[in-house]
Amino acid sequence: MSDPINDVRRKLNEVLNKQDQRLVFGWKPGAEPARKEGETWEDVDGRKWTVKNGVKQSISKLETAKTPWWCPKCNKVMNHKIDDKFWRIRGHCFDCNVKEETELRRQGKWKEYEEQKLRANFLSEMKDTLQKLQDLRENLSTPEVIHFDEHEKRVMMVEKWDVDINKVKNDLDVDIEKVKKIIAKAEIGDFTDEDTE
């Protein structure tokens, strides 16, 4: 009979000898270049990196979606939902926004600032409307209503409506042109409330 300890030693030696016979290839990168504060780069794996406070840190793909812990303007802790909202809209905390708007009022520039913000909001809304109309026109088809019986798992009836698709497309084209004209006027600042009617 063979000794179990000797059997284990023999097996270990066989495995170790096989590993010694393998060829191992590898690559050792050269010295990494010196990076400056705030510099960003991408490594060979596609990950993005930056240097913050002298430390190399990876940049998350969700970096722009995160609210920072401290306001980039005043370094105040951003731990309130109002701070989150103003970070997404303006890129700083609520307190910085109040200070900024107060200073605009003090300098007499508030009316101009307010009109600029209202115009930007209006333009954004009109561009969204234009995109919706263009998508609707592109994907327009004859409407159908399918009645389905859940219990019997079968189609009961298909209603096909007789709609003049070309007329609907022409109406959408007219609306699209109207919205384009409104956007063009609003972009140059020549806009009145009568344009939206």
Q: How many domains does the chain have?
A: 1
Amino acid, res. 113: Y
C-alpha 176/C-alpha 185 separation (Å) is 14
Domain that holds residue 160: 132-196
Amino acid, res. 25: F
| CB 139 within 8 Å of CB 172 | no
- The answer to whether residue 136 is domain-embedded is yes
- The answer to whether residue 141 is domain-embedded is yes
* Residue-wise pLDDT tens digits, 157-190: 888 888 888 999 999 999 999 999 999 998 887 7
Percentage, residues of the chain above pLDDT 90: 40
- The answer to whether residue 191 is domain-embedded is yes
* Predicted local confidence at residue 143, as pLDDT: 85
- The answer to whether residue 162 is domain-embedded is yes
* Residue-wise pLDDT tens digits, 110-153: 999 999 999 999 999 999 999 999 999 999 888 888 888 888 88
State both tokens at 19.
């590993």
- The answer to whether residue 180 is domain-embedded is yes
- The answer to whether residue 117 is domain-embedded is no
Overall pTM > 0.85: no
* Predicted local confidence at residue 192, as pLDDT: 60
Question: At residue 89, does pLDDT exceed 80?
Answer: yes
Does the CA dihedral 41-42-48-49 come out positive or negative?
negative
Q: How confident is the model at residue 36 (pLDDT cuts 50, 70, 90)?
A: confident
**Helix residue spans in 22-61 (DSSP H):** none
Amino acid, res. 169: K
- The answer to whether residue 170 is domain-embedded is yes
